[in-house]
Amino acid sequence: MSKRFLLLLQACTVAKVHGQYEGSGNAWSSYNEVMPDTRYTPQLDYRNPRWCYTLSLSDGEATCYSPRGGNYRSTLGTRCQLSCDHGYRLLGRASVQCMPNRRWSGTTRCRQIRCHVLPLIDRGTYSCTEGVAVDSRCDYTCEQGYEMEGDRTRTCLDGGVWSGTEPTCTDKDPPTIKCPPSRVRLASPGRRTTKVSWEPPVVKDTTGALLADVTLKGQEPGSEFTEGMHVIRYKVYDQARNKAACKFIVRVEVRRCPVPKAPLHGYLTCSSDRNNYGAVCKYHCEAGYERRGTQTRVCLFNRSWTMAVPVCVTMEINTDVRTAAALLDQFYEKRRLLIVSTPDYSNQYYKLQNMMLQRAGCGLNLRQVTVIELLGLPPREVGRIKDRQLHPEVIEELRQALRISTARFSMVLLDEHGIDRERFVSPTTPEELCYLVDTYLLEEEERERLEKNTDYCD
């Protein structure tokens, strides 16, 4: 074969190979990978401007520099620097070169950088702008009634990690509690107390949870409240031990009439608190005095008393009786008697005793003691109560019934039931008489009234 034929065959072969690599529909432009071809290695030809396929990088950028300069970006020897867009990571080589085998020297791709999926937080949630991609911002929110502690916002960083730390939702809001309104109640008639009731306080938790830990400080609803002001307090704790409290006032008023006064020579016995609404007061007269007027008065709602105030007047003693029994019956359970007997007016014991009795008259009257004098001998004897004369038959019956001698001075002390309690054969001082009456004849109620009137005779 001649030398000219060989050169012509070689030229045709090269022209065919060049036709295979050029054009827009060849297979080399569909992927970014260069595979070695051991079957055939073309000769270097810097005159062909499209030696390698045009390099492109999805989600990235290829910056190429050709040895020929200008717009020759895929000629033989062109070097490209590869970089990824923000949020993407480069996988493969950062620099490739167009090789004589019409392939690039390496492969590269950009993979999106992703942070891990954030876990949900207890009692809260979050929302993100771009999911788990770089620069995605996730904002946390807590459920109603809970406050956030920690970072409210987290951002996905270039390194594939989230900024900040995971927050927590904490219940810091106290519950709400609303007590019933304060109230004023009037005491029940005849009493200084009244029952007061109310509905339980309304409690709510900002989290919506049920609250059962409600405690009361003060009296229970429906109980008896005394006169005055009472503070009722409630408090409640939620599950996080946040506390709320409220209070209200219960005031019990007692309507009162003017304080009743005991009549002169008399005393009162009243129910309840003496002058509160519904109180009943009974008027009593001391022994030796009689009541004129009503016995009972009632304190009304309008703060006034029923009826007029009664008075105690001196008991009318009827001395115009013919028997000792008729005379003594007038004093039964009303007055005590001190019977003084003497054979004549000139008796020294009588004179001394009479002088002391005149000085003790007020004290004896406070102790409901009436003095009866039996003076002289029959038929000229005299019996008297102060200046009122007794019939001779009454005098004789008294002497016989009480065994009073006419021969000497003597005294007999009778209680309010007519029982002989003490006898005296010599004069007795007022102090001794009063001590004897106070110690042995007075009841407890009489002693109390006597103590209140100790200054009456001063």
Q: Tell me, yes or no, whether 242 lies in a domain.
A: yes
Residue ranges making up the domain that contains 367: 324-445
Q: Tell me, yes or no, whether 286 lies in a domain.
A: yes
Q: Tell me, yes or no, whether 6 lies in a domain.
A: no
Cβ atoms of residues 347 and 374 within 8 Å: no
State the pLDDT at residue 52: 87
Domain count, the chain: 5
What does the pLDDT look like over 366-401, one tens digit per residue?
A: 888 999 999 999 888 999 998 899 999 999 999 999
Same domain, yes or no, for 368 and 280? Answer: no
Measured CA to CA, the distance from residue 117 to residue 120 in angstroms comes to 9
Same domain, yes or no, for 351 and 424? Answer: yes
Same domain, yes or no, for 397 and 429? Answer: yes
Same domain, yes or no, for 145 and 203? Answer: no
Q: Could you give the percent of the chain with pLDDT greater than 70?
A: 88
What integer is the mean pLDDT of 71-88?
Answer: 86
**CATH code for the domain in which residue 343 is found:** 3.40.30.10
State the pLDDT at residue 49: 66
What is the residue-averaged pLDDT of the chain? Answer: 85
**CATH code for the domain in which residue 276 is found:** 2.10.70.10
Structure tokens given for 220: 């229970």
State the pLDDT at residue 188: 87
State the pLDDT at residue 5: 37
Cβ atoms of residues 112 and 158 within 8 Å: no
Structure tokens given for 286: 């001391």
State the pLDDT at residue 77: 85
> pTM for the whole thing?
0.48
Angle between helices 348-359 and 430-440 (to 10 degrees): 70
Q: Tell me, yes or no, whether 458 lies in a domain.
A: no
- Residue 193 vs residue 26, higher pLDDT: 193
Nearest alpha-carbon partner for 290 in 259, 269, 270, 263: 263
Same domain, yes or no, for 304 and 335? Answer: no
Provide the pLDDT confidence category of residue 95 given band limits of 50, 70 and 90: very high
Which backbone phi and psi does 15 adopt, to 5 degrees?
Answer: -60, -35
Which backbone phi and psi does 452 adopt, to 5 degrees?
Answer: -70, -20
Q: Tell me, yes or no, whether 133 lies in a domain.
A: yes
**CATH code for the domain in which residue 211 is found:** 2.60.40
Q: Tell me, yes or no, whether 402 lies in a domain.
A: yes
Check pLDDT > 80 for residue 45.
no
Q: Tell me, yes or no, whether 217 lies in a domain.
A: yes
